[in-house]
Structure 1
Amino acid sequence: MRINVLQHTPNEGPGSIKTWANMHNDEFYVYHPETFGVLPTADETDLLVILGGPMSPNDNLDWIKQECNLISELLKAHKPIFGACFGAQQIAKTLGYKISDAPHKEVGWAPVYLQSNTIPDIPENLTALHWHEQMFEVPQEAELLFSSDLVKNQGFLLGENVIGLQFHFEPEEDNVREIAVNDHSYPDDHNDLNQTAAEIIEHGVPKENKDVMFKLLDFITKRLK
């Protein structure tokens, strides 16, 4: 399987998604469309991973539009797609749904609650890393997958091959440190989770997050046992 990853900022990498790919001996390609303006084609993509970033799908930028075109092609071809944060918003935007300011800015660790039993063996309550102040409108053709105490629209499942999450299950310990130290001022400004960058690092990554990340990827790629 060829996995193509769209990374939008240096401090938000694929984390445990790369670990999962290595376990399966997959080909793993990371693209930086904002920096280099290069995207994979739909034909050379077996799984598309769209990571987070500080930009908005509403920004009038050519590479954002080109990403949406790629997502549209993959949706039509029924290929698996996983989007985190900005990535999930990009999927929703491509489908014609709104991206708007969330009722609360969430930066830090907070619970998310499972809203669907379609994917087996996912815990009802998990602690995820949040790093956002916008949210997606859940596509009508999708089902709500996760919610949090402050923002209902936290995840969606479209068919059996597309998942978008507003939060992050993919970061491992070193990834959390990289996110927090490089974007350390972001949690300090009107953050409704009231956590500092130092507190976010100190919290640590719940061990079940990697397992759940693997299960979500297994599900959309038909590797679920």
Structure 2
Amino acid sequence: MRINVLQHTPNEGPGSIQRWSQLHHHEMYIYHPYRFGNLPTADETDMLVILGGPMGPNDNLPWLKEERQLIKQLLAEHKPIFGACLGAQQIAKTLGCRIGKAPHKEVGWAPVYLQTDKIPGLPKKITALHWHEEMFEIPDEAELLFSSDLVKNQGFVLGHHVVGLQFHFEPEADNLREIAINDNHYPDDHNDLHQTAADIIKHGVPAENREVMYHILDFITAK
């Protein structure tokens, strides 16, 4: 299977998604549209992963609009799609949902709570990495998957092939440090989780997050 990854900033890579791809002997291609403007076609995409980034779906950037055209094609073809943060917002916007400011800016570690049994076997409560201040509406066809204490719309599952998460399960230890040291001022401004970059690094990545990420990827790629 060819997995095409859309990466939107140098310090937010695929993390454990890449490890999962390697374990299953898939081929992963990582695109940087914000830098090079290149995107894969639908025909050469068996699975699409859309990662986070500092920009928003409402920004007037041509490549963001082109991403949504690709997402629209893949949705019509029922191909697996996973979106994290900006990626989830891009999926929701493609489906006609509004993207706007969340009621709280969340930067750091905080629990999320499972809202549906659509994906069997997920824990009821998981500590996840949050790095956002915007929020998506839940698409009409989708189910609310996760909520946090501060923001209700934290994740959705659409059918059996699409999952969007406002937060991050994919970072591993090295990725966490890369995110936090390079975007170290973002947690300091009006952060309702009241964690600094140093706090976030010190917390570390919970061991179960990789397994939860694998479980979601197994679900959306199951035949």
Q: When the two structures are superposed, what TM-score results if normalisation uses the length of structure 1?
A: 0.99
Counterpart-to-counterpart distance in 2, 1:24 and 1:204: 26
| Letter paired with 1:87 | G
Q: Deviations over 1:85-142 (max 9, x none)?
A: 0000000000110000000000000000000101111000000000000000000110
Q: Which residue of structure 2 aligns with residue 159 of structure 1?
A: 159
1:104 matched residue in structure 2:
104
**Matched residue of 1:194: which SS?**
coil
1:213 counterpart residue number: 213
Verify: 1:149 aligned to 2:155, yes or no: no
Q: Can you give the 5+ residue segments of structure 1 that lack an aligned partner in the other structure? A: none
The residue identity in structure 1 corresponding to 2:55 is: M
| Matched AA of 2:3 | I
CA distance in 2, matches of 1:204, 1:97: 33
Residues 1:181 and 2:177 aligned together: no
Q: Matched residues in 2 for 1:81 and 1:119: separation? A: 15
Q: How does 1:40-55 map to 2 (within 5 A)?
A: 40-55=40-55
Distance in structure 1 (CA, Å) of the matches to 2:56 and 2:98: 11
Q: Give, as a single letter, the amino acid of the residue that structure 2 aligns with 1:84.
A: A
Q: Deviations over 1:122-177 (max 9, x none)?
A: 00000000000000000011000000000000000001000000000000000000
1:194 corresponds to: 194
Is 1:130 matched up with 2:134? no
What percent identity do the matched residue pairs reach?
74
AA aligned opposite 1:65: K
Shift of 1:70: 0.2
Cα distance in structure 1, aligned partners of 2:18 and 2:113: 25
Write the letter of the residue equivalent to 1:106: E
Aligned-partner Cα distance in 1 for 2:199–2:10 = 22
Alpha-carbon separation, structure 1, partners of 2:204 and 2:182? 17
Partner amino acid, structure 1, of 2:65: K
TM-score scaled by structure 2? 0.99
Matched, 1:62 2:65: no
Aligned counterparts of 2:209 and 2:131: Cα–Cα separation in 1: 16
1:37 is matched with which residue? 37
SS of the aligned residue for 2:122 comes to coil
Indicate the RMSD between aligned Cα atoms, in angstroms. Answer: 0.5
> Which digits, 9 at most, give the CA deviation of each residue in 1:168-187, with x for residues without a partner?
00000000000000000000
Distance 2:118 2:163 in 1: 12
**Aligned length in residues:** 223
SS at match of 1:126: strand
1:23-56 deviation line (CA, Å, top 9, x unaligned): 0110010000010000000011011000000000
SS in 2 for 1:112: strand
Q: Counterpart amino acid of 1:103?
A: P
Q: Hey, what's the Cα distance between the residues in 2 that align with 1:77 and 1:120?
A: 24
What secondary structure is seen at the aligned counterpart in 1 of 2:170? coil
Q: Give the letter aligned to residue 191 of structure 2.
A: N
